[in-house]
Chain A
Amino acid sequence: MNRRIILITGANGALGRATAQTFLDESPGNFVWLGVNRRREHAETLAAKNPDRCRVISLDVTRPDAWKSAVAEIVAAHERLDVLVNNAGTHDDALLAQMKWESWHGVMAVNLEGVFHGCQAVLPVMISQRNGRIINLASLSALLAPPGQTNYAAAKAGVVALTQSLAKEVARIGITVNTVCPGYLDTEALAGLDADAKKRALAQIPMRRFGRPEEVAAAIRFLACAGAGYITGSTLKIDGGIF
């Protein structure tokens, strides 16, 4: 039986939960750790439904000490960590001319530095195992860089570059590092858009529909599977055909 230990950050959100559920469905031997920060109610519900295979863990991705203690707890429980999904993210949109430094830095701290801290925290374990899968969530914004998202687009583009560079560093050790770039997903982030904005967004999507979290989760699961062992440093767009 396939038995892997998976850590997903930002696991209280729709994409994090869908990813967790996908790994739980993949094998009854998988154990999923749900990294959460301030909000945890949805993650707690998922963990309660799968008490033997799923646990919530406090993890502020901007803090190296939080990463250190979370990884230590996981390794103490399982003596390994096979998959890290760096999914935690935030956005704080504004035109650059009016953007406060706090908005810039806050988005950088979670979306880019959080990935840096996460990779650094799990690498000793994965190097020691000579095996590991890291999947970093970026965004279509990393590639298209829409106005009003200089902070978010720069952070996510940084994630793409970080991924490519790290992938080369650890390729020979049996660790793969890949980026997934979702487009418009039908999640809580989209709920903030008004009807007109949603209509304009839909018009950009050749498939004329928003993506489902499960569709991104399926790609994450694929990149984490043994069959994807030769894929590293790649950037996978999941956006209904926008390019």
Chain B
Amino acid sequence: MNNPTELRGQIKQMLVENLMLQISAEEIGDDEPLFGPGGLGLDSVDALQIAVALEKNYRLKLSDVEVARKMLQTVNTIAAAIQAHQTPPQ
């Protein structure tokens, strides 16, 4: 299980590297919207790349579009999804 702060840092680094963002990982806010105006301004092709990276790095598969939309809102929502995926069921 990842430390939450460390996990958020990994996610931001993954976004910068996979999407070739022209900003540093530290410049991305935990609750900053990833898509649309007022945030990072990512688009559907970026979402596709994030989905592939999440499956490759965390074995987290985004099979449902609605679930993906909710999950990919911010770094925090992605981190929560990864943690929920990694937590063994009780």
Contacts and interface: CB of A to CB of B under 8 A. Distances in A.
Contacts of A170: 45
Interface of B: 18, 45, 48-49, 52-53, 55-56
Contacts, number: 15
A170 B49 CA distance: 10
Main secondary structure of the interface of B (DSSP, over half): helix
A232 to B, nearest CB: 14
B53 to A, nearest CB: 7
Nearest 5 CB-CB pairings of A with B:
A127-B52, A124-B52, A128-B52, A128-B56, A127-B49
Nearest to A124: B52
Contacts of B53: 128
A172 B48 CA distance: 12
A130 B45 CA distance: 13
A173 interface: yes
A128 B45 CA distance: 13
Interface of A: 124, 127-128, 130, 169-170, 172-173
A73 B55 CA distance: 18
Nearest to A125: B52
Nearest to B53: A128
Most A CB contacts (10 A, CB to CB) among B18, B49, B52, B56 go to B52
Contacts of B56: 128
A172 B55 contact: no
Contacts of B55: 124
15 contacts: A124-B52, A124-B55, A127-B48, A127-B49, A127-B52, A128-B52, A128-B53, A128-B56, A130-B18, A169-B45, A169-B48, A170-B45, A172-B45, A173-B45, A173-B49
